[in-house]
């Protein structure tokens, strides 16, 4: 009996080809274990279901023969298997070797290098600064003497969509951080920014940490390693330290770039990737029904209470994801047709976020009637919920809300919120 074909990796990005001259299905590796991008022609794309770990190459040939209406398909079938194998897109030894090499490489690096410079934003310091100044309507967000964080601001919510696509909402969020407090003696803001970002690829019910400083075209942003270590000690089993997802994730990187633009390269951060919460049998309960989630939320809340004004929270989140790129049958256009109803539902959720109502927010996300199946596909739910539970006294307001067509048939929604400081949240000797 022939050995079954290896499974196609479930963590690949799959999307329709945007190139009319090269139709088919685009396959790429969001983890960057492999640098290859494949465009699988339509006929062969219909055969990818054969890579389920159960069917063999004979089954692949039989399906391809039926679809093509011809018998001589052995060479095409073999080429498909070989292309997927060489790309590292199958769950086989080739992929295991690529993954192991990349994860060892990241663990050994002293710094977390920019993953998206030269793509999502300029790779050189001067063009990047000019681009970001343009997002703030040509007005420099801080004077030459430096700046810090308005003590009245406890947290902001900003997008993690492409900075160009979400430029107005980024500007609204980061304008909420003022520039009128002196820098500390080492040239950095006397504040640590706790950056809670969506982990698009990390494990369920887990949080990803790293001790590595973040490097961008602006320079090196320092990571508060003592706070990282404290969270790791306080929430064992809930966190992954030196989580490889940090190597490729954009949700924190984009926030670091904006913070450095405002407050200088040496800004101090605590980067936390928030994995999605459990679905399936565990859905329908609050996320802290998971011991791991409850442990981390508790540890983060204790850290926030202990550090007080020394911490400012920055959440890098997007909201709904609709259209063909995200598995919906019909194309989506920003602010048009069904997206008007999506905006109403988004705003209902954001009302709960602004009210500090974690439970009400989660009721809307989990759907109650279909728990664990968010048809709006919000990818900012876990950072938002974690923040609201860890700091239950916060109240905020919505500054902006927008849609952006990430391609001609797919839309992402996002916005900006600010959470002013509540005086009662801190001990008397910490109040302004």
Q: What is the mean pLDDT of residues 20-27?
A: 91
Are the beta carbons of 360 and 368 closer than 8 angstroms? no
* Of 235, 299, 326, 222, nearest in space to 265 by CA: 222
Q: Do 270 and 348 fall within a single domain?
A: yes
Same domain, 64 and 119: no
Least confident of 135-139, 262-266, 401-405: 135-139
Domain extent for 85: 13-105
CA angle 100, 105, 109 (to 5 degrees): 150
Neighbours of 79 (CB within 10 A): 11
Residue 102 has pLDDT above 50, yes or no: yes
Q: What is the arithmetic mean of pLDDT over 8-21?
A: 89
Q: Is residue 7 part of a domain?
A: no
Has residue 139 got a pLDDT over 70? no
Q: What is the pLDDT of residue 425?
A: 43
Say if residue 91 is in the same domain as residue 117. no
Residues 99 and 129 both lie in one domain: no
Output the six-digit token pair for 374: 């968010």
For residues 123 and 95, state if they share a domain.
Answer: no
Q: Does residue 3 lie within any of the structural domains?
A: no
What is the token pair recorded at 33? 């274990």
Each residue of 221-262: pLDDT tens digit?
A: 999 999 999 999 999 999 999 999 999 999 999 999 999 999
Q: Are 286 and 205 in contact (CB under 8 A)?
A: no
pLDDT (mean) for 277-291:
75
pLDDT exceeds 70 at position 188: no
Residues 99, 117, single domain; the answer is no
Q: How many separate domains does the chain show?
A: 2
Answer with the one of 89, 105, 121 that is the final residue of a domain. Answer: 105
Tokens for 272, please give them. 């936390």
What is the token pair recorded at 308? 């007080």
Predicted pLDDT of residue 283: 57
Verify that 92 and 133 share a domain, yes or no: no
Give me the sign of the Cα torsion angle 288, 350, 159, 315: negative
148 and 82 belong to one structural domain: no
CA distance 35 to 252: 22
Tell me the per-residue pLDDT of 321-347, one tens digit each, with 9 for 90 and over.
999 888 888 899 999 999 999 999 999
Mean of pLDDT values over 5-18: 91
pLDDT greater than 60 at residue 151? no
Whether residues 364 and 412 fall in one domain:
yes
According to the model, what pLDDT value does residue 144 have? 36
Alpha-carbon distance of 4 to 149, in angstroms, equals 58
What pLDDT, on a 0 to 100 scale, did the predictor assign at position 421? 83
Domain end: 46, 78, 105, which one?
Answer: 105
Q: What is the pLDDT of residue 222?
A: 96
Look at residue 325 in the predicted model and tell me its pLDDT.
84
Checking if the pLDDT of 148 tops 70, the result is: no
190 falls within a domain:
yes
What value does the mean pLDDT of the chain take? 88
Q: Report whether 320 contacts 401 (CB < 8 A).
A: no
Rounded to whole angstroms, the Cα distance separating 352 from 342 reads: 16
Query: How do strand 153-158 and strand 410-420 relate by DSSP bridges?
Result: antiparallel
Average confidence (pLDDT) over 276-297: 82
Asked if 161 and 205 sit in the same domain, the reply is yes
Does residue 180 surpass a pLDDT of 60? no
Of 71, 105, 139, which residue sits at a domain end? 105
pLDDT at position 150, please?
54
CATH number of the domain to which 377 belongs: 3.40.830.10
Q: Rounded to whole angstroms, what are the CA distances from 415 to 50, 111, 166, 227, 246?
A: 41, 30, 8, 29, 23
Predicted pLDDT at 70: 79
- Rounded to two decimals, the pTM is 0.86
Dihedral (Cα; 157, 11, 346, 207), 10-degree rounding = -40
**20, pLDDT greater than 80:** yes
What is the per-residue pLDDT for 178?
63
Amino acid 186: pLDDT = 55
Contact of 48 with 5, CB cutoff 8 Å: no
Q: What percent of the chain has pLDDT over 90?
A: 77
- Residue 149 is predicted with a pLDDT of 56
The structure tokens listed for 19 are 């190139």
CA 25 to chain centre: 23
Q: Give domain status of residue 419, yes or no.
A: yes
CB 199 within 8 A of CB 274: yes
Query: For 121-132, what is the mean pLDDT?
Result: 96
Same structural domain, 237 and 90: no
Tokens linked to 134:
């343009």
**Residue 338 and residue 200 share a domain:** yes
Taking residues 79-84, what's their average pLDDT?
96
- Asked whether residue 270 is domain-assigned, the answer is yes
Position 241 in a domain: yes
In 175-300 the beta strands, taken as DSSP E runs, fall at 192-198, 207-209, 214-216, 219-223, 239-241, 268-274
Q: Is 170 domain-assigned?
A: yes
Q: How far is CA 347 from the centre of its chain?
A: 21
């Amino acid at each position: 009996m022939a050995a079954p074909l290896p499974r196609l990796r479930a963590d690949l990005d799959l999307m329709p080809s945007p190139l009319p001259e090269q139709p088919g299905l685009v396959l790429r590796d969001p983890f960057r274990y492999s640098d290859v991008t494949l465009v699988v022609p339509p006929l062969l794309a219909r055969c990818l279901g054969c890579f389920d770990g159960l069917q063999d190459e004979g089954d692949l040939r039989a399906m391809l023969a039926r679809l093509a209406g011809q018998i001589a398909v052995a060479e095409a079938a073999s080429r498909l298997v070989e292309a997927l194998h060489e790309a590292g897109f199958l769950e086989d030894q080739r992929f295991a070797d690529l993954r192991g090499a990349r994860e060892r490489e990241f663990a050994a690096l002293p710094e977390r290098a920019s993953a998206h410079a030269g793509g999502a934003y300029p790779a050189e310091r001067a063009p990047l600064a000019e681009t970001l100044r343009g997002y703030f309507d040509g007005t420099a967000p801080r004077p030459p003497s430096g700046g810090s964080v308005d003590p009245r601001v406890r947290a902001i919510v900003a997008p993690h969509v492409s900075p160009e696509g979400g430029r107005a909402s980024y500007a609204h969020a980061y304008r909420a951080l003022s520039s009128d407090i002196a820098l500390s003696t080492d040239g950095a803001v006397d504040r640590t920014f706790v950056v809670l970002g969506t982990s698009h690829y990390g494990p369920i019910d887990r949080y990803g940490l790293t001790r590595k400083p973040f490097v961008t075209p602006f320079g090196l942003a320092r990571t508060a390693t003592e706070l990282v270590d404290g969270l790791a000690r306080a929430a064992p089993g809930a966190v992954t330290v030196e989580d490889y997802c940090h190597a490729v994730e954009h949700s924190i990187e984009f926030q670091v770039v904006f913070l450095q633009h405002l407050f200088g390269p040496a800004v101090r951060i605590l980067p936390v990737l928030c994995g999605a919460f459990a679905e399936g049998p565990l859905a329908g309960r609050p996320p802290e029904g998971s011991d791991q989630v409850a442990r981390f939320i508790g540890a983060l809340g204790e850290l926030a209470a202990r550090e007080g004004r020394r911490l400012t929270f920055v959440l890098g989140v997007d909201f709904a994801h609709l259209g063909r790129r995200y598995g919906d049958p019909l194309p989506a256009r920003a602010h048009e047709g069904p997206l008007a109803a999506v905006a109403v539902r988004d705003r209902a959720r954001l009302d709960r976020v602004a009210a500090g109502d974690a439970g009400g927010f989660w009721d809307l996300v989990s759907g109650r009637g279909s728990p664990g199946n968010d048809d709006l596909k919000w990818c900012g739910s876990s950072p938002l919920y974690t923040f609201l539970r860890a700091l239950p006294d916060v109240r905020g307001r919505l500054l902006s809300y927008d849609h952006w067509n990430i391609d001609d048939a797919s839309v992402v929604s996002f916005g900006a919120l600010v959470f002013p400081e509540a005086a009662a949240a801190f001990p008397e000797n910490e109040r302004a």
